[in-house]
């Protein structure tokens, strides 16, 4: 059984300090260069990079061959920004591949990095098994044609960038252990990541005994006998991801996750982070909740992992889980999160937006049956919150939503849907679960769907709507661009105004409340389509700046 007393002392390695930019304009390059043959024969000016024509790309590639450090930095910055900018690749990226491969044959590590970025689309890191073989850009196949050159460089140099590129391409490196301790650690990780794919190992599942097993005995020997803590950690990670994790490997990883063990390779910056990730991967669902509360990985990250396993994948539209579908394990996960780490539910972790787990504290309570209010009322179409989330927001079924709202106090339900972000505040958020992604306009569309449906449902609530608006009219009248100041509950004001306009006309005293966000209506908390509709009731009609282009 693993004992921390058996571990060797950890001596952090000494790292070279990277040189900074000198800010000097180039070309010309300062050092002696040996550019690849044929580099200047390509019509680079006819190709595109991230900014325009790619006429500077050959200069960047040549700079990587310079014996001047400043030139090399210049080349690296240039290729980074021009050929792999923000995850995108360009015609210049594809044209650069054979010349970068030429540099790989000269053991140029920076060329390896850019081949990886071109193959993957920027995020060329490997930290978990699902990062394996993720080279999927339009030029990944062109990079893969030079995999033999990459493997030969790995054989010659043990360069971990070469090893990582092989893993990204899904290629199996040979041998274990390697010549040096750091290379052995990297090879352990490569074998483990590839074995997880080939052995069908998934997080938290029992061990597998499938196709990729040749490395397992060597990894187990390294975990128990290597004098290097770096190697022992990597070997334990390898066993877990290969499907052969046991009590000893998990105990070692859990122990290492609590410390600080800086290393310097392409896989990780700290053994603790690597160990925490692998421990989380290899631990079953019950273990994720029963680990010590103050340990790394912390409860927040363990709950996220547990949710990813237990809740179905959604795609770009959230599909709510019906209460009768909720399993005991899912209930335990949500209850633990609400009690001890609600940010696991409300956080904006992008990876977890793809699973159908309630996205707000209120939504979690409604699913668990521990909430009260109009949204928890059962209508002939189902629970009101479920009808709104599934019928309206997921499937754009306004008819079902209106039918359900007709059976409850729609005004009270509106106040439960749009709630203050902070106690006593006026800036509102949606308490239902919605899924939106940066730049896709989904959040605005969902807000408009809710406001518009509620505006129709509130036709019989004119008195309540007018009383609500009268209460806010003084504040709105004294603030120009009131949404900007977040001085009022904008979503509910917009909905109440629309409800009046649609059900008999908007009283003139409320005309001043139809105001944009600081005269830029596209940023208003009142959805722009609703603002345009309301502007039709104004004497001047819809302002030119509010209209669709």
Mean pLDDT of 146-173: 85
Give domain status of residue 307, yes or no: yes
What's the residue count for the chain? 549
**CB of 108 closer than 8 Å to CB of 75:** no
Q: Domain of residue 474: give its range.
A: 375-546
Rounded Cα–Cα distance for residues 242 and 215 (Å): 9
Rounded Cα–Cα distance for residues 477 and 387 (Å): 36
Q: Does position 422 have pLDDT exceeding 60, yes or no?
A: yes
Q: What is the pLDDT of residues 69-121, one digit of tens each?
A: 888 999 988 888 788 877 788 899 999 999 999 999 999 999 998 998 888 86
Cis peptide before 177 (omega within 30 of 0): yes
Same domain assignment for residues 521 and 403 = yes
- Among 368, 384, 401, which residue terminates a domain? 368
Q: Does position 17 have pLDDT exceeding 50, yes or no?
A: no
Q: Which residues contact 339 (CB under 8 A, 6 or more apart)?
A: none
Q: Which residues contact 370 (CB under 8 A, 6 or more apart)?
A: none
Q: What is the pLDDT of residues 20-73, one digit of tens each?
A: 444 444 457 888 999 999 999 999 999 988 888 888 899 999 999 999 988 899
Same domain assignment for residues 283 and 214 = yes
Q: Pick the closest to residue 102 from 161, 134, 42, 61 (CA basis).
A: 61
Question: Does the reported pTM lie above 0.85?
Answer: no
The dihedrals phi and psi of 514, each to the nearest 5 degrees, come to: -85, 85
Rounded Cα–Cα distance for residues 464 and 471 (Å): 11
Q: What is the pLDDT of residues 271-294, one digit of tens each?
A: 998 999 999 999 999 999 999 877
Helix and strand element counts for the chain (H, E): 25, 4
Give domain status of residue 245, yes or no: yes
Burial grade of 86 (CB within 10 A; 0-12, 13-18, 19 or more) = exposed
Same domain assignment for residues 386 and 516 = yes
Rounded Cα–Cα distance for residues 117 and 110 (Å): 11
Rounded Cα–Cα distance for residues 309 and 355 (Å): 9
Same domain assignment for residues 259 and 282 = yes
Give domain status of residue 188, yes or no: no
Same domain assignment for residues 91 and 141 = yes
Mean pLDDT of 130-145: 81
How many other C-beta atoms can be found within 10 angstroms of the C-beta atom of residue 422? 8
Report the range out of 137-151, 385-399, 414-428 with the highest average pLDDT: 385-399
The whole-number pLDDT of residue 458 equals 97
Q: What's the distance, CA 194 to chain centroid?
A: 23
CA dihedral 17, 277, 313, 88 (to 10 degrees): 20
User: What confidence category does residue 440 fall into, taking pLDDT thresholds of 50, 70 and 90?
Assistant: low
What are the residue ranges of helices labelled H in 169-323? 181-198, 216-225, 229-242, 247-257, 271-282, 285-290, 299-310
Rounded Cα–Cα distance for residues 288 and 292 (Å): 9
Same domain assignment for residues 530 and 482 = yes
Give domain status of residue 193, yes or no: no
The whole-number pLDDT of residue 124 equals 54
Give domain status of residue 4, yes or no: no
Same domain assignment for residues 460 and 502 = yes
Structural domain total, the chain? 4
Same domain assignment for residues 324 and 286 = no
Same domain assignment for residues 317 and 346 = yes
Rounded Cα–Cα distance for residues 165 and 34 (Å): 24
Residue-by-residue DSSP string for 142-171 = HHHTTHHHHHHHHHHH--HHHHHHHHHTTP
Give whole-number Cα distances, 411 to 259, 319, 356, 520, in Å.
Answer: 53, 25, 28, 29
Rounded Cα–Cα distance for residues 330 and 315 (Å): 20
Q: Does position 393 have pLDDT exceeding 90, yes or no?
A: yes
- Among 117, 150, 168, which residue terminates a domain? 168
Q: What is the pLDDT of residues 291-313, one digit of tens each?
A: 987 788 999 999 999 998 999 88
Largest CA distance in the chain: 84
Same domain assignment for residues 305 and 338 = yes
Same domain assignment for residues 392 and 497 = yes
Q: Pick the closest to residue 473 from 487, 454, 459 (CA basis).
A: 487
Give domain status of residue 11, yes or no: no
Give whole-number Cα distances, 110 to 68, 143, 417, in Å.
Answer: 14, 15, 52
Give domain status of residue 21, yes or no: no
Q: Pick the closest to residue 150 from 133, 167, 130 (CA basis).
A: 167
Rounded Cα–Cα distance for residues 180 and 230 (Å): 11
Same domain assignment for residues 218 and 277 = yes
Cis peptide before 297 (omega within 30 of 0): yes
490-516 per-residue burial string, b: 16 or more CB within 10 A, e: under 16: bbbbbbbbbbbbebeebeeebeebbbb
């Amino acid at each position: 059984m693993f004992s921390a007393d058996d571990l060797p002392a950890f001596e952090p390695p000494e790292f070279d300090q990277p040189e900074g930019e000198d800010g000097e304009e180039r070309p010309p390059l300062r050092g002696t260069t040996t550019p690849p043959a044929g580099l200047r024969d390509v019509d680079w000016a006819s190709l595109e990079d991230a900014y325009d024509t790619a006429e500077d790309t050959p200069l960047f590639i040549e700079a990587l061959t310079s014996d001047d450090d400043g030139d090399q930095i210049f080349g690296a910055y240039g290729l980074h920004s021009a050929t792999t900018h923000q995850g995108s690749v360009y015609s210049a990226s594809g044209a650069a591949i054979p010349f970068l491969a030429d540099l790989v044959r000269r053991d140029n590590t920076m060329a390896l990095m850019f081949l990886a970025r071109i193959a993957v689309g920027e995020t060329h890191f490997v930290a978990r098994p699902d990062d394996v073989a993720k080279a999927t850009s339009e030029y990944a196949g062109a990079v893969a044609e030079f995999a033999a050159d990459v493997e030969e460089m790995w054989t010659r140099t043990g360069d971990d960038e070469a090893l990582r590129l092989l893993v990204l391409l899904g290629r199996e490196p040979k041998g274990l252990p390697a010549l040096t301790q750091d290379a052995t650690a990297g090879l352990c990780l490569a074998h483990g990541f590839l074995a997880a794919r080939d052995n069908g190992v998934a997080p938290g599942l029992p061990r597998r005994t499938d196709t990729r097993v040749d490395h397992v005995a060597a990894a187990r020997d390294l975990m128990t006998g290597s004098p290097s803590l770096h190697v022992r950690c990597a070997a334990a990670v390898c066993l877990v991801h290969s499907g052969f994790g046991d009590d000893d490997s998990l105990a070692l990883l859990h122990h290492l996750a609590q410390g600080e063990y800086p290393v310097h390779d392409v896989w990780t910056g700290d053994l603790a982070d690597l160990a925490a990730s692998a421990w989380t991967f290899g631990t079953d669902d019950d273990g994720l909740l029963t680990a010590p509360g103050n340990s790394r990985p912390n409860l927040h990250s363990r709950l996220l992992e547990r949710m990813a396993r237990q809740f179905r994948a959604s795609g770009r539209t959230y599909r709510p889980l019906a209460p009768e579908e909720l399993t005991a394990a899912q209930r335990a996960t949500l209850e633990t999160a609400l009690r001890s780490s609600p940010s696991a539910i409300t956080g904006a972790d992008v990876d977890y937006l793809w699973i159908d787990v309630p996205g707000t504290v209120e939504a979690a309570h409604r699913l668990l049956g521990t909430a009260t209010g109009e949204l928890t009322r059962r209508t002939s179409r189902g629970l009101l919150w479920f009808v709104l989330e599934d019928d309206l927001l997921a499937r754009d079924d306004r008819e079902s939503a209106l039918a359900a709202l007709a059976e409850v106090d729609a005004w009270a339900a509106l106040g439960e849907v749009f709630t203050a972000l902070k106690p006593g505040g006026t800036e509102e958020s949606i308490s239902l679960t919605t899924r939106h992604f940066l730049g896709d306009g989904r959040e605005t569309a969902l807000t408009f769907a809710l406001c518009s449906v509620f505006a129709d449902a509130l036709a019989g609530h004119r008195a309540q709507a007018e009383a609500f608006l009268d209460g806010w009219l003084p504040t709105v009248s004294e603030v120009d661009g009131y949404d900007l100041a977040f001085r009022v509950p904008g979503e509910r004001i917009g909905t109440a105004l629309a409800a009046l306009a649609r059900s008999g006309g908007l009283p003139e005293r409320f005309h001043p409340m139809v105001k944009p966000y600081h005269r830029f209506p596209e940023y208003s908390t009142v959805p722009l389509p609703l603002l345009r509709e309301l502007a039709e009731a104004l004497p001047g009609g819809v302002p030119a700046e509010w209209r669709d282009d």
